[in-house]
C-alpha cells in the first residue's frame, strides 16, 4: 500500500501536461465517427473521453492544491508551457462533444471559459519564457511540433465558440466576426511557424532518431484549420455581407486541407523509419516490418509507447473529421471515400495507443511492487 501511495503522489507531483493529448485524440476520433455516421463507436469513445477528462482534471487540481510551486516551475520551462495548451484543446474538445451528444450548451460555455482562462495563462508564460530566452537560442533550436499547439488551441477556442453561438437564440452578428478573426489569426500563425519548421525538417540537421510523434501536429494544425473553415462556411449567417467572406474562407479552407493532405506521406514515412529503428543489435521482428505501429502495444524489448504517442492520433482523427466536414461544405463528395478508408487506420492507431497506455500504467504500478 505504501508503494502505491508513493506512485500516486509522484504521479500528481510530476503530472505531465501533455497527458491531455489523449483527451484531444479520443475526442476528435469520437466526433469524426459521429460525422461519418457510426454513432455506436462515437458514443463509446465519448464515454471513455469523459472518464479520461475527469480523471486528468482531478489530478491537475490536486497538483494545484498540493504542488503549486512545482506546477509554476513547469510553466517557466518553454517547452512545458507549450504542452499545457493540450489542456485548452482537450477542454474545448470535450465542450464540442457535449454540444454534439448532449446538447449541453451551459456546460459547453463553462468549459469554453475554462479553456480561455487556461489559454491566457499559457500564453502569458510562453511570452515570459521567450523574453527570458531572447538571444540565447535561435528560432530553429526552439521550434518543433509542439509549437503549433498555439495554432491548434486558438482554433479550438474558435470552433467551440462557433458551436455555442449556433445553439444560442440571441447573439450579435459581430460574434461570428470574432470567431472568424480567431481562425484567420490561427491561419497566419500556422504559416509563420511552419516555414522555419519545414526548413528544420527538410534542410537542417535532422535525423530519424530526432523524430517524435508531436511532429504530426504539422498536419494536425492544418487539418483543424480546415475543419474550422468548413464549420464557418456552413454556419455563417445567411446575409449578403457574409457572401464574399464565405467565398474567401472556402478558398483558404481548400488550400489548407490540401496542405494537410500533402503532409501525410512524409509523416507516415518518418514515423515508420523511427519505429523500425531499434536500439539493440537484435534482428528486427517480422511484425515490426509489416506494421511498425504495433510497437505501441506489443513486444517486450520493442515496446515503444510514450505519452507523446497520442500526438499522432489527434492529427489523424482531425484529418478524418475535417475531410468529412469539407465534403459537407463543398460539392467534393468523393472526399467521403478518403474518410471512410482513413477511418480504419485512425481507429486502429487509437486502439493500439490506448492499449499501450494501459500497459504503461500497469507496468508503472507493478514496478512499484518490487521496491
- Weakest-pLDDT range from 104-118, 273-287, 351-365: 273-287
Are 305 and 353 spatial neighbours (Cβ–Cβ below 8 Å)? yes
pLDDT band for position 371 (cuts 50, 70, 90): very low
First-last CA distance in the chain: 11
Residues 322, 324, 328, 332, CA torsion sign? positive
pLDDT digits (tens, 9 = 90+) for 95-127: 999 999 999 999 999 999 999 999 999 999 999
Sign, CA torsion 193/195/199/201: positive
**How far is 360 from 355, CA to CA, in rounded Å?**
9
Rounded Cα distance, 271 and 348, in Å: 15
Q: What's the chain look like in SS3?
A: CHHHHHHHHHHHHCCCHHHHHHHHHHHHHHHHHHHHCCHHHHHHHHHHHHHHHHHHHHHHHHHHHHCHHHHHHHHCCHHHHHHCHHHHHHHHHHHHHHHHHHCCHHHHHHHHHHHHHHHHHHHHHHHHHHHHCCCCCCHHHHCCHHHHHHHHHHHHHHHHHHHHHHHCCCCCCHHHHHHHHHHHHHHHHHHHHHHHHHHHHHHCCCCHHHCCHHHHHHHHHHHHHHHHHHHHHHHCCCCHHHHHHHHHHHHHHHHHHHHHHHHHHHHHHHHHHHHHCCCCCCCCCHHHHHCHHHHHCCCCCCCCCCHHHHHHHHHHHHHHHHHHHHHHHCCCCCHHHHHHHHHHHHHHHHHHHHHHHHHHHHHHHHHHCCC
pLDDT digits (tens, 9 = 90+) for 307-350: 999 999 999 999 999 999 998 888 777 788 888 899 999 999 99
Determine the pLDDT at residue 333: 76
pTM of the model: 0.93
List, for residues 208-225, the tens digit of each pLDDT value: 778 899 999 999 999 999
Stronger pLDDT, 145 or 190, i.e. the higher one? 190
Mean pLDDT, all residues of the chain: 88
Q: Give the model's confidence band at 203: pLDDT under 50 very low, under 70 low, under 90 confident, else very high.
A: confident
pLDDT in tens, 59-97: 999 999 999 999 999 999 988 999 999 999 999 999 999
Q: What percent of the chain has pLDDT over 90?
A: 60
Q: Which three cell numbers stand for residue 127?
A: 511570452
Domains of the chain by start residue, with CATH = 2-368 (1.50.10.150)
Q: CA 310, CA 42: separation in Å to the nearest integer?
A: 18
Max avg pLDDT among 20-34, 197-211, 267-281, 286-300: 20-34
Taking Cα atoms as reference points, which of 124, 256, 140, 271 lies closest to residue 191? 256
Amino acid at each position: 500500500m505504501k508503494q502505491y501511495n508513493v506512485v500516486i503522489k509522484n504521479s500528481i507531483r510530476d503530472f505531465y501536461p501533455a497527458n491531455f493529448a489523449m483527451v484531444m485524440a479520443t475526442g476528435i476520433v469520437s466526433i469524426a465517427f459521429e460525422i461519418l455516421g457510426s454513432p455506436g463507436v462515437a458514443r463509446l469513445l465519448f464515454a471513455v473521453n469523459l472518464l479520461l477528462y475527469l480523471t486528468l482534471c482531478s489530478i491537475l487540481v490536486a497538483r494545484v492544491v498540493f504542488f503549486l510551486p512545482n506546477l509554476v516551475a513547469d510553466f517557466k520551462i518553454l517547452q512545458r508551457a507549450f504542452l499545457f495548451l493540450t489542456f485548452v484543446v482537450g477542454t474545448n474538445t470535450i465542450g464540442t462533444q457535449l454540444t454534439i451528444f448532449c446538447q449541453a450548451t451551459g456546460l459547453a460555455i463553462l468549459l469554453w471559459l475554462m479553456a480561455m482562462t487556461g489559454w491566457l495563462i499559457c500564453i502569458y508564460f510562453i511570452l515570459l519564457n521567450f523574453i527570458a530566452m531572447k538571444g540565447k537560442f535561435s528560432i530553429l533550436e526552439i521550434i518543433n511540433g509542439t509549437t503549433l499547439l498555439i495554432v491548434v488551441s486558438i482554433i479550438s477556442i474558435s470552433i467551440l465558440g462557433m458551436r455555442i453561438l449556433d445553439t444560442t437564440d440571441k447573439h450579435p452578428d459581430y460574434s461570428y466576426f470574432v470567431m472568424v478573426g480567431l481562425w484567420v489569426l490561427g491561419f497566419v500563425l500556422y504559416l509563420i511557424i511552419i516555414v522555419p519548421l519545414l526548413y528544420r525538417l527538410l534542410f537542417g540537421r535532422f535525423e530519424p532518431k530526432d523524430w517524435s510523434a508531436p511532429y504530426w501536429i504539422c498536419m494536425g494544425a492544418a487539418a483543424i484549420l480546415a475543419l474550422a473553415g468548413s464549420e464557418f462556411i456552413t454556419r455563417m449567417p445567411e446575409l449578403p455581407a457574409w457572401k464574399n467572406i464565405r467565398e474567401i474562407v472556402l478558398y483558404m479552407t481548400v488550400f489548407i486541407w490540401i496542405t494537410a493532405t500533402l503532409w501525410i506521406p512524409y509523416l507516415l514515412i518518418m514515423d515508420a523509419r523511427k519505429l523500425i529503428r531499434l536500439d539493440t543489435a537484435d534482428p528486427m521482428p517480422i511484425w515490426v516490418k509489416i506494421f511498425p505501429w504495433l510497437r505501441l502495444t506489443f513486444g517486450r524489448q520493442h515496446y515503444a509507447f510514450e505519452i507523446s504517442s497520442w500526438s499522432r492520433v489527434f492529427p489523424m482523427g482531425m484529418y478524418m473529421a475535417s475531410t468529412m466536414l469539407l465534403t459537407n461544405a463543398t460539392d467534393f463528395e468523393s472526399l467521403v471515400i478518403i474518410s471512410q478508408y482513413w477511418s480504419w487506420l485512425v481507429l486502429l492507431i487509437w486502439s493500439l495507443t490506448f492499449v499501450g497506455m494501459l500497459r504503461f500504467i500497469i507496468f508503472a504500478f507493478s514496478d512499484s511492487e518490487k521496491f
